[in-house]
Amino acid sequence: MRANVPSVAPQFIRSRIGKVCVAIIGTTAAEMLEKASAVVKETPFLEFRLDYLEKPLLALPKLKHFFEDNTAATAIATCRRAANGGKFSGNVAAEMEILSKAAGAGFHIVDLELESAEALKKGELQKLRDTGIALIISHHDFNATKDLDGIYQRIAPFQPDFVKIVPTAKSLTDNVTLIRFLERMTDNSNIIGICMGDAGIISRVLGLRAGSAFTFAAATPGEETGPGQIAARTLIETYRVDQVDAATKVYGVAGNPIKSSLSPVMMNTAFRRETVNAVYLALQSHKVTDLLKLVHEIPIQGLSVTMPHKQEIMSHLEKTDPLSAKIGASNTVLRAQDGKLYGFNTDVAGIVGPLEKRMSLRGAKALVLGAGGAARAAVFGLRDKGADVFILNRTAETAQKLAKQSGSKTIKKEALAKTPFDVIINATPIGMAGQKGAQLLEAKDLNTKLVFDLVYNPVETPLLRLARQQSIPIITGVEMFVQQGARQFEIWTGKPAPEEEMLRVVIHALRQAAEAAAAEAPAPAAKPASSPKSGTAAKAKKAS
């Protein structure tokens, strides 16, 4: 973009970098270098957030040694001022001093926020550029996604090597605004565009697909430097951003909240395993109308729909399968070749499938605990297969209504001990990690040949433990989770789903989440530790 500046040519920079730049944070040079050393072999494109350092200038000689030892590394120096979402409390002159010295320390690129660039006196920016370092001019909006063209017009006169525009998505539609902006800029290959925030997570993948030169990632979960930032390994291994291109089909799971969903890791693994050029994203959606705008604009080829949208989505679909209509909920949407949206319910298959592997459901006697969405899928699915279904729910009227709709019966807790069942299915959240509430059943109530807990986190719930203690066979909620996902995969791709691989990654992810939760839990009697990791990551406003 710029002329007559003796710098590291952008083409040279571009030949060295991948699509993912890992943000490195730390309060000391030693801490930063430890983190950089851990990631540089896998991802040699790094952003050192010098504003996180207590003494940025003193750290530069140590960082210089790192670049001498790691010649494949390409590094951005950023010293974001507090006024623009960073941690640096100095003024623009102090920021410029640090960035100029960063050039001498072996950094290849500096990131200067637009507000600082605009505050400089004539000639000051040129002095920085005369060091030969490449320049990013960046703009962050922590409140909205608006006037992206106007921001670009403010940045362009500085003729930077890269233009970085980072708004905040408050809705899924805000991502569409960013994507359309990036697409309009296709002649300019030096734009970086990302939406911050949970609703903007998808822009970290779709932005690249629309032409963003690269994106930013956290070194590890918990070290995010911007709201919604994803860990580098997740972006590369789960979302395969290195392979995402214009032909990549987009799928996603829509719900609220959706951040902790295991569907992206499971479905992206399935796509990779079956070499389908597709990516599956977490769509944080407050409103179905917002979701549908995204679906039509991107376009999105298929959706997993979860709480709270499973019922509302139905009225926006061209047609649904008969079970969805009976249950009043669809968890799967397919965009057919005619561009119209069709609904399915694979929760039913996720419950009935594992049961049919173990027993014949015709005439089987089943107890369903709960009368919400999952219970409805269980009850209608079981009735469809000819089972005799009993419902027990906290709110008796809801159970009675569901029993009437489905041709089932209700039952009182007191009757359980003397009523034998072939299977007991828990379709309430009781037993779920973090869920409070007394256990619904005691040992004497487990008068059954099989217990199926639809709760999948933790894998072994208290109810399943109780069943095991009595040598009653069990089915875990993970099996349902994988089965409903496998059927979705098949509806979308027409290929058999790699169920074993899907099960393996879900169990692995659940184990990791449990370990992380255990590590986060404060030690008894000790004050909650403010580790450098959580401390640096959580403080103040963060910029991507």
Question: Which of 241, 299, 306, 246 shows the shortest CA–CA distance to 268?
Answer: 241
Question: Which of 452, 478, 461, 459 shows the shortest CA–CA distance to 378?
Answer: 452
**Distance between CA atoms of residues 349 and 345, nearest Å:** 8
User: Considering beta carbons, is residue 106 or 370 the nearer one to ligand NAP?
Assistant: 370
User: Is residue 371 a known part of a binding site?
Assistant: yes
Instruction: Kindly name the residue from 108, 164, 249, 326 that is annotated as catalytic.
Output: 164
Q: In which order are the strands placed within the sheet that holds 191-193?
A: 191-193, 162-166, 134-140, 109-113, 74-78, 45-49, 20-24, 215-218
Pick one of 236, 267, 375, 466: the residue that binds ligand NAP (CB under 6 A). 375
Pick one of 40, 99, 432, 451: the residue that binds ligand NAP (CB under 6 A). 432
Residue 240 Cβ, how far from ligand NAP at the closest point, in Å?
24
433 binds ligand NAP (CB under 6 A): no
By CB under 6 A, the count of residues binding ligand NAP is 26
User: Considering beta carbons, is residue 200 or 252 the nearer one to ligand NAP?
Assistant: 252
Pick one of 299, 322, 437, 535: the residue that binds ligand NAP (CB under 6 A). 437
Pick one of 125, 134, 250, 454: the residue that binds ligand NAP (CB under 6 A). 454
- Two tokens at 9? 């040519």
Residue 487 Cβ, how far from ligand NAP at the closest point, in Å?
11
**Distance between CA atoms of residues 130 and 279, nearest Å:** 42
224, 204 Cβ separation under 8 angstroms: no
Pick one of 145, 346, 393, 448: the residue that binds ligand NAP (CB under 6 A). 393
User: Considering beta carbons, is residue 257 or 535 the nearer one to ligand NAP?
Assistant: 257
How many CB atoms neighbour CB 25 within 10 A? Answer: 25
Q: Residue 402, SS3?
A: helix
Residue 369 Cβ, how far from ligand NAP at the closest point, in Å?
7
Residue 348 Cβ, how far from ligand NAP at the closest point, in Å?
11
User: Is residue 301 a known part of a binding site?
Assistant: no
CA angle 347, 348, 352 (to 5 degrees): 120
User: Is residue 186 a known part of a binding site?
Assistant: no
509, 191 Cβ separation under 8 angstroms: no
Q: Residue 258, SS3?
A: coil
- Two tokens at 156? 């362009």
394 binds ligand NAP (CB under 6 A): yes
Q: Residue 95, SS3?
A: helix
Sign of dihedral through CA atoms 306, 308, 310, 314? negative
- Measure the CA dihedral 377/380/384/390, to 10°: 120
Pick one of 430, 451, 466, 497: the residue that binds ligand NAP (CB under 6 A). 430
Q: Residue 419, SS3?
A: coil
Footprint (CB under 6 A) of ligand NAP, residues 314-373: 347, 350, 370-373
User: Is residue 225 a known part of a binding site?
Assistant: yes
Instruction: Kindly name the residue from 19, 249, 309, 310 that is annotated as catalytic.
Output: 310
429 binds ligand NAP (CB under 6 A): yes
**What's the helix, strand, coil split of the chain in %, to 5?**
45, 15, 40
Annotated catalytic, 41?
no
461 binds ligand NAP (CB under 6 A): no
**Distance between CA atoms of residues 392 and 368, nearest Å:** 6
From 40-48, 228-236, 422-430, 516-524, span contacting ligand NAP (CB under 6 A):
422-430
User: Considering beta carbons, is residue 241 or 258 the nearer one to ligand NAP?
Assistant: 258
Pick one of 374, 486, 509, 543: the residue that binds ligand NAP (CB under 6 A). 374
Annotated catalytic, 164?
yes
User: Considering beta carbons, is residue 26 or 381 the nearer one to ligand NAP?
Assistant: 381
User: Considering beta carbons, is residue 188 or 398 the nearer one to ligand NAP?
Assistant: 398
Footprint (CB under 6 A) of ligand NAP, residues 276-295: none
Burial per residue of 133-166, b for 16 or more beta-carbon CB atoms within 10 angstroms, e otherwise = bbbbbbbbbbeebeebeebbeebeebebbbbbbb
User: Considering beta carbons, is residue 257 or 437 the nearer one to ligand NAP?
Assistant: 437
Annotated catalytic, 310?
yes
User: Is residue 103 a known part of a binding site?
Assistant: no
User: Considering beta carbons, is residue 340 or 413 the nearer one to ligand NAP?
Assistant: 413
Footprint (CB under 6 A) of ligand NAP, residues 466-505: 477, 480-481, 484
User: Is residue 374 a known part of a binding site?
Assistant: yes
User: Is residue 394 a known part of a binding site?
Assistant: no
**Distance between CA atoms of residues 460 and 127, nearest Å:** 62
User: Considering beta carbons, is residue 181 or 452 the nearer one to ligand NAP?
Assistant: 452
Q: Partners of 110 in the beta sheet?
A: 77, 135
Distance from CA of residue 293 to its chain's centroid? 20
Instruction: Kindly name the residue from 87, 140, 249, 326 that is annotated as catalytic.
Output: 140
What's phi and psi for 6, nearest 5 deg?
-75, 85
From 274-282, 337-345, 393-401, 407-415, span contacting ligand NAP (CB under 6 A):
393-401
Q: Which residue is nearest to ligand NAP (CB)?
A: 372
144, 170 Cβ separation under 8 angstroms: yes
**Distance between CA atoms of residues 114 and 155, nearest Å:** 7
160: Cβ contacts below 8 Å, ≥ 6 apart: 1, 2, 135, 136, 137, 190
Sign of dihedral through CA atoms 267, 268, 271, 277? positive
Q: Which residues are catalytic?
A: 140, 164, 310
Question: What does the binding site for ligand NAP look like in residue numbers (CB under 6 A)?
Answer: 307, 347, 350, 370-375, 393-395, 398, 427-430, 432, 437, 454-456, 477, 480-481, 484
Binding-site positions read 47-49, 80, 204, 225, 229, 261-263, 306, 331, 347, 370-374, 454, 456, 477, 484
Binding-site positions for shikimate read 261-263, 306, 331, 347, 456, 484
Binding-site positions for 3-dehydroquinate read 47-49, 80, 204, 225, 229
